[in-house]
Amino acid sequence: MDNKLIIGIIAAIVVIAAAVLIFNTGGSTSGKIDIVGSTSVQPVAEKLMEKYQESHPDVKINVQGGGSGVGIKSAQDGTADIGTSSKDLKDDEKQGLTEHVLGQDGIVIAVNKENTAKDLTKDQLKDIFSGKITNWKEVGGKDAPINIITREEGSGTLDAFISIVMGKDTEIKSDAIVQSSTEAVKQSVKQDPNAIGFVSYAAMSDDVKALSIGGVPPSEATIADGTYELQRPFIFLVKGEPTGAVKDFIDWVMGPEGTKILEEEKIVKSNK
């Protein structure tokens, strides 16, 4: 047989095999999905990943934190298949990205369980974090200094807190203790009777105490109807339109099985 003909046949077989592989994996030859971004979204994404892989063992999903800023950039430059954000994107950040909103997450104002304070107004909260109010006795607590715990630059929780509570012209107190994750903020508050911080409602646990804001406690009902004002979205971001394994995963997340997990993880569908 002519060598050119043999080479042509081999090339055709390779092309056909590649096409079959792409078809069978939904456009993804690797079966691997990298998810990067918000440390608040991270544990929720991990739960979704674990459940999804039970029925899709050939798809390998890697979930990492880094902050919402990292998630947005990773989606924009294509270094992650899915970027995650726990803040609304600015117009210039949205360019080229497709957003998939998983639901709403409350931002809970967490204090130590020994703290006697129960409720703050948004103005009081702003004054505490800016340093105008420095003692718990000014807001219903004991005579003790207020120790502020905040998040690092690039955190979606921090961006949302600044947008909702602080505004553009007021900065968080310069000597506030900076932590790099929701869990680290909780641990700081748990260990310090005079501390105050803000954490994801999805990550709240009974080892710290949640304050009401303007008389409204954080709950699934108050987040859903909008009466609890401190809330932000959990978002999956994809460069362009999702395809292949990424599309299949996102469709599953937004479907009945994924929605059930999101509800279990206290991610709330808005009914406003």
What is the span of the domain harbouring residue 40?
Answer: 3-105+234-264
Task: Give the pLDDT of residue 8.
Answer: 54
pLDDT of residue 9: 54
What proportion of the chain, given as a percentage, has pLDDT over 90?
A: 78
> Structurally, how many domains does the chain consist of?
2
What's the pLDDT at 23? 40
Whether the pLDDT of residue 28 is over 50: the answer is no
- State whether 83 and 176 are in the same domain: no
Q: Would you say residue 214 lies in a domain?
A: yes
Judgement on whether residues 91 and 204 belong to the same structural domain of the protein: no
Residues 221 and 245 in one domain: no
Which amino acid appears at position 94 of this protein? K
Token readout for 90 is: 């600015």
Q: Are residues 144 and 223 in the same domain?
A: yes
Q: What is the pLDDT of residues 198-233, one digit of tens each?
A: 998 988 999 999 999 999 999 999 999 999 999 999
Give the model's pLDDT for residue 260.
96
> What pLDDT, on a 0 to 100 scale, did the predictor assign at position 172?
97
**Residue 261 pLDDT exceeds 50:** yes
Whether 147 and 217 share a structural domain: yes
> What backbone phi and psi angles, to 5 degrees, belong to 58?
-85, -10
Residue 40 confidence class, pLDDT cut points 50, 70, 90:
confident
Q: Is residue 272 part of a domain?
A: no
On whether residue 269 sits in a domain, the answer given is no
Q: Could you tell me which residue, 7 or 91, shows the higher pLDDT?
A: 91
Same domain, 208 and 244: no
Digit-coded pLDDT (tens) for 147-204: 999 999 988 889 889 999 999 889 999 999 999 988 999 999 999 999 999 998 988 9
Q: How far is CA 222 from the centre of its chain?
A: 19
The answer to whether residue 117 sits within a structural domain is yes
Q: Is residue 215 part of a domain?
A: yes
Same domain, 17 and 65: yes
Integer Cα distance of 182 and 14 in angstroms:
49
Token pair recorded at residue 101 = 């909103």
270 domain-assigned: no
Q: Do 142 and 174 share a structural domain?
A: yes
CATH number, position 44 = 3.40.190.10
The per-residue pLDDT for range 115-132, each reduced to its tens digit, is 999 999 999 999 999 999
How far apart are alpha carbons 144 and 171 in whole angstroms?
23
143 and 259 both lie in a single domain: no
What's the predicted TM-score (pTM) here?
A: 0.74
Domain co-membership, 100 together with 110: no
Task: Please tell me whether residues 117 and 225 are part of one structural domain.
Answer: yes
Same domain, 227 and 243: no
